[in-house]
Amino acid sequence: MTQLTDNPVHVQTILDSVADGVFTVDPQLRITSFNHAAEEITGFSRAEALGQPCCEIFRTNVCFDQCPLRKAFASGENITNIEVDVLDRHNREIPISVNASVLRDERGDVIGGVETFRDLSQLRALANEVQKQFSFHDMISRNPRMQQLFDILPDVANSDATVLLHGASGTGKELFARAIHNLSTRNNQPLVVINCGALPEQLLEAEIFGVRKGAYTGAIANRKGRLALAEGGTLFLDEIGDLPLSLQVKLLRVLENNEYQALGSDETRRADVRFVAASHRDLAHLVEEKRFRQDLYYRLNVVALHIPPLSERDEDIPLLLDMALQRFCHKHGKKIVRFSQPALEQLLAYPYEGNVRELLNIVERAVILCRGSQIEVMHIPALTSNALALKKNRCPDKDALSHLLQRFQGNRQQLAQHLGIDRTTLWRWLKKHQLN
């Protein structure tokens, strides 16, 4: 009995009825069949394609080093769902997903290969649309609590009121501060950032309020503080909970009547500045412990916004992973199109105690390590118990920390990077053990 597939016309009709592009090649990779969808996606006609080397017609970014058909020939295994870009007849890049398999005769000898591919343009466009829909001033989130914050931010920004941002490290407090500044009428004046936890008291005072020549040994000239640099604009006081009590009094005075004095000077200056402060610590708790002035707390707490940690917004992780992949591929000039399924599962299950910052670090590292077109499990750091302890933001003991400090020859930036923590956290740890 003759089989349906014995008749080449039937075979072509069957192939043409498939929505995916399909072409076959001989062992020398010359095209032996080309279906209708392949014509549609590539823009080349069947007549043009037949007999040509497949890399002349089906021009992808992996033809020369990662050709799926060659891989299938070499391994004898099917290659599935590789995402690549193909150039159509008019040199437009089209994202596609490719499968490749070897074709054998009855004796098992290789007689060619078949490649099928699906146009992902619409899917990609949809994904971009989703990203846009959930984006707000460089931030992305589909979490209802975050969306509420995005919603009220324009009004908050317009009010010129002091804002207190509360959220764990890496949740995006600085991005919120920037959005508030950019949405406010002060947006044509500077936004100046100062981290209140990163400097010892005297230097911090000089940094915020400015310093008069001779106020202390290192003060060799008059210098403007960040408050003066932010004139007309916004001053973002990060880690306000770390502000020493003496400076809290000074700051309160600026908040109450816009007046301050530079370090070592008795000349009173006026400031026209909007304040946004942030803390990863609960300021009310610090007030109870008498480490933060209650009057300053009330002054700062006019509009308080709480940014939820990433662990309370799982729905954001896939969005952030996609955004991070795009961002770091662009930065490092790579063409990685996705995460493999096992890698994605691992990334979705990750604890991200360092919040969005940690997620970004993990993806950037993976992008740097990855040579192929998708991120694999091996590109993602495994969670060791040591890493887990550090992730919980627990401070290591004094010996361990001092040993690490020596290993990095006192370079705090490198040490913080090594530990996967920000410099402020490291500074707190060093302070705790009196290592600074």
Ligand X SMILES: Nc1ncnc2c1ncn2[C@@H]1O[C@H](COP(=O)(O)OP(=O)(O)OP(=O)(O)O)[C@@H](O)[C@H]1O
- Contact pick of 24, 322, 422, 428 for ligand X (by CB under 6 A): 422
CA distance 311 to 270: 43
Give min distance, CB of 232 to ligand X, in A: 23
Give min distance, CB of 280 to ligand X, in A: 5
Give min distance, CB of 334 to ligand X, in A: 19
CA 304 to chain centroid, in Å, comes to 25
- Map residue 382 onto helix, strand or coil: coil
Compare residues 68 and 167 and give the one whose CB is closer to ligand X. 167
Q: What backbone torsions phi and psi does residue 392 show, to the nearest 5 degrees?
A: -70, 5
- Contact pick of 206, 237, 273, 356 for ligand X (by CB under 6 A): 356
Compare residues 170 and 225 and give the one whose CB is closer to ligand X. 170
Q: Tell me, residue by residue from 20 to 49, as one string, x for binding to ligand X by CB under 6 A and - for no binding.
A: ------------------------------
Compare residues 181 and 280 and give the one whose CB is closer to ligand X. 280
> Which residues inside 122-141 make contact with ligand X, applying CB under 6 A?
139-141
The answer to whether 240 and 279 have CB atoms below 8 angstroms apart is yes
**CA nearest to 208, candidates 156, 248, 149, 164:** 248
Q: Which stretch binds ligand X (CB under 6 A): 25-33, 268-276, 355-363, 401-409?
A: 355-363
Give min distance, CB of 165 to ligand X, in A: 8
Which amino acid, one-letter code, is at 393? N
Which amino acid, one-letter code, is at 346? Q
Number of residues in contact with ligand X, rule: CB under 6 A? 17
Give min distance, CB of 283 to ligand X, in A: 14
Q: Tell me, residue by residue from 365 to 404, as one string, x for binding to ligand X by CB under 6 A and - for no binding.
A: ----------------------------------------
The beta-carbon contacts of 340-349 under 8 Å, at least 24 apart in sequence, are 340/374, 340/375, 340/376, 340/377, 342/376, 342/377, 343/374, 343/375, 343/376, 343/377, 343/379, 343/380, 346/377, 346/380, 347/317, 347/321, 347/380, 348/314, 348/317, 348/318
Residue 87 in tokens: 């150039």
Helix (H) or strand (E) holding 417: helix 412-419
- Map residue 335 onto helix, strand or coil: coil
> Which residues inside 274-313 make contact with ligand X, applying CB under 6 A?
280
233 Cβ neighbours under 8 A, 6+ residues apart: 181, 186, 189, 190, 191, 192, 273, 274
Compare residues 156 and 360 and give the one whose CB is closer to ligand X. 360
Q: Which stretch binds ligand X (CB under 6 A): 69-77, 294-302, 354-362, 399-407?
A: 354-362
Compare residues 115 and 238 and give the one whose CB is closer to ligand X. 238
Q: Tell me, residue by residue from 138 to 157, as one string, x for binding to ligand X by CB under 6 A and - for no binding.
A: -xxx----------------
Compare residues 113 and 167 and give the one whose CB is closer to ligand X. 167
* Residue 364 contacts ligand X per CB under 6 A: no
**CA nearest to 236, candidates 182, 317, 287:** 182
Compare residues 140 and 163 and give the one whose CB is closer to ligand X. 140
> Which residues inside 160-219 make contact with ligand X, applying CB under 6 A?
167, 169-175
Compare residues 44 and 136 and give the one whose CB is closer to ligand X. 136
CA distance 171 to 310: 7
Question: 59 vs 23, 53, 79, 89, 91, CA distance in Å?
Answer: 13, 10, 18, 9, 9
Compare residues 102 and 321 and give the one whose CB is closer to ligand X. 321
Q: Which stretch binds ligand X (CB under 6 A): 60-68, 98-106, 296-304, 356-364?
A: 356-364
Compare residues 15 and 325 and give the one whose CB is closer to ligand X. 325
Compare residues 205 and 358 and give the one whose CB is closer to ligand X. 358
Give min distance, CB of 314 to ligand X, in A: 14
Which amino acid, one-letter code, is at 385? S
Helix (H) or strand (E) holding 279: strand 274-279
Helix (H) or strand (E) holding 80: strand 79-87
Which amino acid, one-letter code, is at 290? K
Give min distance, CB of 127 to ligand X, in A: 16
Compare residues 16 and 174 and give the one whose CB is closer to ligand X. 174
Give min distance, CB of 427 to ligand X, in A: 12
Query: In the 8-state DSSP scheme, what is residue 160?
Result: -
Paired sense of beta strands 234-238 and 79-87, if any: unpaired
Residues contributing to the site for ligand X (CB under 6 A):
139-141, 167, 169-175, 238, 280, 356-357, 360, 422
